[in-house]
Chain A
Amino acid sequence: MTDRWTDRLSEYVDGQLAAPEREELEAHLGTCAECSAVLEGLRVVVERARTLESAPPADDLWPAIEARLVAARSEMGAGASAGDPDTATAPPPAARRSIVPFFRPAFRFSVSLPQAAAAALLLALLSGGGVWMALRHASGVAGNGVAARPGVTGLIAATGEATTSPRTSPVIDYVAPGATNAQYAGFDPSHYDVAIAELERTMHEHRSELDTSTVRVVEQNLAIIDHAIDQARRALAADPASPYLNGHLAQQLRLKMDLLRRVTDFAGPRG
């Protein structure tokens, strides 16, 4: 059972009631055993929360973190010391940020075309799984009003993290994985389509300059990415405003564009 004071008890515990309300509530507590009991219970909860202790993870996570940092450093070509973290002195992270933003696909600068194609395949497969999940839950998109909110820009700005404002430009040239997919809700894929069409045309022009095995690998990967794009478009037809699906489609288009660029770059200098 609750009365009009029950929902104010937390504010009372936190000392947030104005003096007149506080006095009125205190008078009420003198006559209401139930509210007094709830108040005592709330105080126990607050005290428990304050005295919770931190605990490290069961397994040491540092080796995995170190591996990621060393790998990123190696991919940035930080020098021969990259493999020796004990003596390595990399450029300050602030300086490196301008070279390789966090999460930017590192293979862009450092791997072969077949490796890029394999990476594209893997990403398309993984992302395709995401669409499948989204489609499964498409009928239940309701969400929690608090947690489902996409924007955390105020806090991001407070820590100096790069903020990604919703794009107003018609061209989305980089899907930052750290950004919320909501920022891509309603984006116009036609701009990607134009760029992709141009790259495809260029690729076909230089097709004869590539060896057949490379062409085969590239075409297989493009087919898989196209399938993922097709899935995303079909899912979007049912739920055009879905931030996740828009973000996913943008990622797949970007993936395709990156692969085509690598192919054309690869073929270009030889032609």
Chain B
Amino acid sequence: MALPALLVMAIGKGQQPTPVEAAGDVQRAAGGDLRAFERLYRVHVGRIHSLCRRMMGSEEAPELTQDIFVRAWEKIGTFRGESQFGTWLYRLGVNVILTRRSQHAIRRGRMNDDPEALETVPTRPSGSDHRLDFDRAIEKLPDGARQIFVLHDVEGYTHVEIAEMLEITAGTTKAQLHRARMILRRHLEGARQT
């Protein structure tokens, strides 16, 4: 029943559903068809998991990814087809993540908001994967700046949308975004010099 992830990836490669097939799967999943929902999962899990990892860190990403798909199964009947299913799913995923982050912030009492936090990131070894290194650097950003950086620069949300999601002003999101970019810039320059 369960296939190892790499095998699934290999099988799935080149088998992206057409929009019509995807719409059919959404409809079938809304009717309770788990196999159709699994196909939707296969298509979208990479982006959802990456979103979770960047927003919440590698450790929590698998469980959070599960939660998002379970929530999507529960809510798929509310999907009206006015947007792409992927857009709806990512939006729902962001909801779940932000709710979790709020709970974490309350539970932990403080967030990792140390502006020098990134300074502790080990310097990238020569020859390592630049993209992987950049992804890890994002995970080390102070929480508020990271959240906004991922939503804006990676996921493409506007400042207005992010401000609405987080119930802050667009001015704050701009300031936090700039802060994140400046930290990452310093990190990349530091890595370049080693």
Tell me the A residues contacting B by CB distance below 8 Å. 7, 9-11, 16, 38, 41-42, 44-46, 48-66, 68-70, 78, 85-86, 88-97, 102, 130, 133-134, 137-152, 154-156, 158-161, 178, 180-182, 242-244
User: Is the pair A141, B71 in contact by a Cβ cutoff of 8 Å?
Assistant: no
Please give 10 more A-B residue pairs, beta carbons under 8 A apart, in addition to A46-B181, A156-B99. A9-B178, A38-B185, A42-B181, A50-B154, A51-B131, A56-B9, A61-B65, A92-B31, A144-B143, A154-B164
Residue in contact with A66 in the complex, picked from B34, B98, B134, CB distance below 8 Å: B34
Contact pattern, B 41-78, Cβ under 8 Å of A = 1, otherwise 0: 11001110110000000000110011001110111111
Asked whether B85 is an interface residue with its Cβ less than 8 Å from the other chain, the reply is no
User: Is the pair A68, B164 in contact by a Cβ cutoff of 8 Å?
Assistant: no
Contact A56:B46 (CB < 8 A) given known A50-B153, A143-B109: yes
Asked whether B166 is an interface residue with its Cβ less than 8 Å from the other chain, the reply is yes
Contact A94:B32 (CB < 8 A) given known A54-B49, A58-B5, A144-B143: no
Name 25 A/B residue pairs within 8 A (Cβ), A-sorted: A11-B174, A11-B178, A16-B174, A48-B134, A49-B154, A55-B49, A56-B49, A57-B61, A60-B3, A66-B34, A68-B70, A69-B37, A88-B34, A90-B32, A137-B107, A142-B110, A144-B111, A147-B101, A147-B104, A151-B167, A152-B166, A155-B91, A160-B79, A180-B103, A181-B106
Distance between Cα atoms of A45 and B180 in the complex (Å): 10
User: Is the pair A59, B153 in contact by a Cβ cutoff of 8 Å?
Assistant: no
User: Is the pair B106, A7 in contact by a Cβ cutoff of 8 Å?
Assistant: no
Contact pattern, B 13-47, Cβ under 8 Å of A = 1, otherwise 0: 00000000000000000111111011001100111
User: Is the pair A94, B110 in contact by a Cβ cutoff of 8 Å?
Assistant: no
Residue in contact with A57 in the complex, picked from B65, B154, B175, CB distance below 8 Å: B65
Asked whether B84 is an interface residue with its Cβ less than 8 Å from the other chain, the reply is no
Contact A161:B75 (CB < 8 A) given known A52-B154, A151-B167: yes
Distance between Cα atoms of A9 and B178 in the complex (Å): 8
**Distance in Å: Cβ of A179 to nearest Cβ of chain B:** 8
Q: Which residue of A lies closest to B184 (CB)?
A: A45
Distance between Cα atoms of A144 and B145 in the complex (Å): 10
User: Is the pair B99, A154 in contact by a Cβ cutoff of 8 Å?
Assistant: no
Distance between Cα atoms of A14 and B164 in the complex (Å): 19
User: Is the pair A59, B47 in contact by a Cβ cutoff of 8 Å?
Assistant: no
Distance between Cα atoms of A154 and B49 in the complex (Å): 23
Residues of A close to B32: CB separation below 8 A: 78, 88-93
User: Is the pair B172, A155 in contact by a Cβ cutoff of 8 Å?
Assistant: no
Residue in contact with A63 in the complex, picked from B2, B42, B108, B134, CB distance below 8 Å: B2
User: Is the pair B30, A65 in contact by a Cβ cutoff of 8 Å?
Assistant: no
Contact A59:B5 (CB < 8 A) given known A151-B167, A155-B91, A161-B92: yes
Distance between Cα atoms of A70 and B111 in the complex (Å): 36
User: Is the pair A181, B144 in contact by a Cβ cutoff of 8 Å?
Assistant: no
Q: Which residue of B lies closest to A162 (CB)?
A: B75
Distance between Cα atoms of A9 and B177 in the complex (Å): 11
Residues of A close to B38: CB separation below 8 A: 62, 66
Q: Which residue of A lies closest to B52 (CB)?
A: A57
Distance between Cα atoms of A16 and B177 in the complex (Å): 13
User: Is the pair B99, A180 in contact by a Cβ cutoff of 8 Å?
Assistant: yes
User: Is the pair B164, A244 in contact by a Cβ cutoff of 8 Å?
Assistant: no
Distance between Cα atoms of A243 and B106 in the complex (Å): 7
Distance between Cα atoms of A89 and B30 in the complex (Å): 10
Residues of A close to B5: CB separation below 8 A: 56-60
Interface centre among A70, A159, A243 (most CB of B within 10 A): A159
Residues of B close to A49: CB separation below 8 A: 138, 149, 153-154
Contact pattern, B 177-194, Cβ under 8 Å of A = 1, otherwise 0: 110011011101100000
Distance between Cα atoms of A54 and B31 in the complex (Å): 29
**Distance in Å: Cβ of B193 to nearest Cβ of chain A:** 12
Asked whether B121 is an interface residue with its Cβ less than 8 Å from the other chain, the reply is no
